[in-house]
Amino acid sequence: MASFNKITIVGYLGRDPEIRYTPQGTAVCNFTIATTEKRKNRDGVMEDVTTWFRVAAFGKQDETINQYLNKGSQLYLEGRLRQETYTDRDGAQRQSLEVTLSDFHFIGTSDKSGQPAGKQQGDKDAPAPADDQDIPF
């Protein structure tokens, strides 16, 4: 039987997308996306639980995401999930979830210019779903 790895996420960008280039000249757009769900803790009190994912987009997808989205933008995405291990600044071993983007859809309404909700002309400080200090990397 064949197997496959696919993840679907609907969440909010935790930072502005960044485009970088490989030594071969291939563009890669990196950003983080967070999902939040409500759960009862041991005391029966509802609390928000946030999960962060690192995302890498390639090709035309990276240009589109970089052009139209920013911190706080909502996005539907699909991709392949993998777990990465890295060493943080303090020398501790950490793990993160990284998604290689395969498909995405803007969520939200567009303004009169036809741009999706998210990065607008002169809008660099869109609200985020969580504080930057919540980001573990």
Q: Which domains does the chain have, with CATH numbers?
A: 7-95+106-126 (2.40.50.140)
How would you write the pLDDT of the chain (137 residues) with one tens digit per residue? Answer: 789 899 999 999 999 999 998 899 888 999 999 999 999 999 999 999 999 999 999 888 888 899 999 999 999 999 999 998 989 999 999 988 899 999 999 986 544 344 555 554 444 444 344 444 554 44
Can you name the residues that pair with 86 across neighbouring β-strands? 94
pLDDT of residue 96: 84
Q: Is the C-alpha dihedral spanning 124, 76, 67, 110 positive or negative? A: negative
Tokens 């995401």, residue located: 65
Could you tell me which of 10, 61, 15 has the C-alpha nearest to residue 35?
Answer: 10
Strands 74-87 and 7-13: antiparallel
Can you name the residues that pair with 85 across neighbouring β-strands? 95
pLDDT of residue 105: 94
Which residues 6+ apart lie within 8 Å of 117 measured at CB? Answer: 73, 74, 106, 107, 108, 109, 110, 111
Do 119 and 67 contact (CB within 8 A), yes or no? yes
Do 73 and 119 contact (CB within 8 A), yes or no? yes
End-to-end C-alpha distance for the chain, whole angstroms? 37
pLDDT of residue 97: 84
